[in-house]
Chains A and B, each alone.
Chain A
Amino acid sequence: MTEHSLWRFSRALHRAINDRHFEDIEALIDEDVDWALYGPIDMFPFLGARQGKQAVLDVIRQLADNFHVRRFDRENIMLGVDSAASMLRYSLTALDSDKPLSLRVAQFAQFRAGRLVNMRVLIDTFDLVEQALGRAIHLPKMTGVG
């Protein structure tokens, strides 16, 4: 039974982020990849949409510059023929501050011939910003409008 592309991609991604070994991940990304990590790009420049392999590799290098993955747990995972969806809990360390961050992330990936062609990642970004700030953001309760 052939290993699903997600597992190879996941191993290569974590090796790139933690060990700065980019050769494996480079081979697993399609030249025309469509990629988006949604969130506030003014605070986290590596978030946002990217087109093409080089742009995505730049993002992965920025992630490696900023974070170390201490641990991740897949809470949900669904594998299609050339697609995968997973909900993950990441424990990261922000390298500039040595601050721990805990993120819940949803990841939707599509592959063609074993290479990533589409990636959509959603993060509970309000929680991410509060953790990065190190304090709660005080806003009015939106009991009547939200």
Chain B
Amino acid sequence: MTVESLSRQRVLHLLDSFARGDLDAALACCTDDVDFLTHAPIDVLPHMVPRHGKTELRALWQTVWSRYSEVRYKTPHVVAEADAVATYMHAYFKKRSNGRIVQFDMAVFYSLRNGLVTEIREIIDSYDLVQQVLEREIGPLILGERAE
């Protein structure tokens, strides 16, 4: 098995573990000093601040699971090269509050060290994500601010 296929397999295992809600198994795929960064409006989504280390990453994932009862991913594109993997994913999160599905695409870039994930970098269509989480369109709010 090549390094690429091992790296790919490990990242997919992490995603499967997280989607099952098995945070211990997901964290076991990561180094102790795992570094997480997503590009999203943290003034609106304050839990999406950068996280460093397993304890902080567990806290983030627990927050996500406290708000969503079901997490599913489809990964139509996975590119692996040596100790790095990039996934393009369709994500579906079901809200606990009202059962609505938040559906968004995300790009996640993983770096691995000794077979464990040591860096996670995400890019999300954050404007759309905020609208779905908020359950309202942002455009009229922007226009409202202009009018004021």
The interface size bin for chain A is: 35 or more
Find A142's partner among B105, B124, B134, B138 (CB 8 Å cutoff).
B134
Contact assessment for B79 and A143 in the assembled complex, using a CB-CB cutoff below 8 Å: no
Indicate if B126 sits at the interface (CB-CB under 8 A).
yes
Among A42, A123, A125, A146, contact of B47 (Cβ-Cβ < 8 Å): A146
User: How close is A110's CB to chain B, nearest CB, in angstroms?
Assistant: 7
Query: Does residue A113 face the partner (Cβ distance < 8 Å to B)?
Result: no
Q: How far is it, in angstroms, between the C-alpha of A7 and the C-alpha of B50 when the chains are bound?
A: 31
Q: Choose from A123, A128, A139, A141 the contact partner of B138 (Cβ within 8 Å).
A: A139
Chain A residues with Cβ under 8 A from B86's Cβ?
A: 76, 78, 85-87, 106, 108
Residue in contact with B105 in the complex, picked from A42, A122, A140, CB distance below 8 Å: A122
Give Cα A105 to B107, complex, Å: 9
Contacts A85-B109, A127-B41 hold; do A80 and B81 have CB atoms under 8 A apart?
yes
Q: Please judge, given known A-B contacts A106-B109, A146-B67, whether A85 and B79 are in contact too, CB under 8 Å.
A: yes
Bound Cα distance from A102 to B85, whole angstroms: 25
Q: Which of A23-67 contact B (CB under 8 A)?
A: 38-40, 42-43
Q: Give the contacts of B11-42 with A (CB-CB under 8 A).
A: 39-41
Is B49's beta carbon under 8 Å from chain A? no
CB of A124 within 8 A of chain B?
Answer: yes
Taking CB as reference atom, which chain A residue is nearest B48?
Answer: A146
Residue of B nearest to A81 (CB): B79
Which residues of B does A touch, CB under 8 Å? Answer: 39-41, 43-47, 67, 77, 79-81, 84-86, 88, 95, 97, 105-107, 109, 111, 121, 123-130, 133-134, 138-139, 141-142, 145
* A-B CB contact pairs (8 Å), 29 listed: A40-B127, A43-B139, A75-B121, A78-B81, A79-B79, A83-B79, A85-B107, A120-B107, A122-B106, A122-B107, A122-B124, A124-B40, A124-B123, A125-B125, A125-B127, A127-B39, A129-B138, A129-B142, A136-B43, A137-B41, A137-B141, A138-B141, A138-B145, A139-B141, A140-B134, A143-B47, A145-B95, A145-B97, A146-B133
Identify the A interface with B (CB < 8 A): 38-40, 42-43, 75-80, 83-87, 104-106, 108, 110, 120, 122-129, 133, 136-146
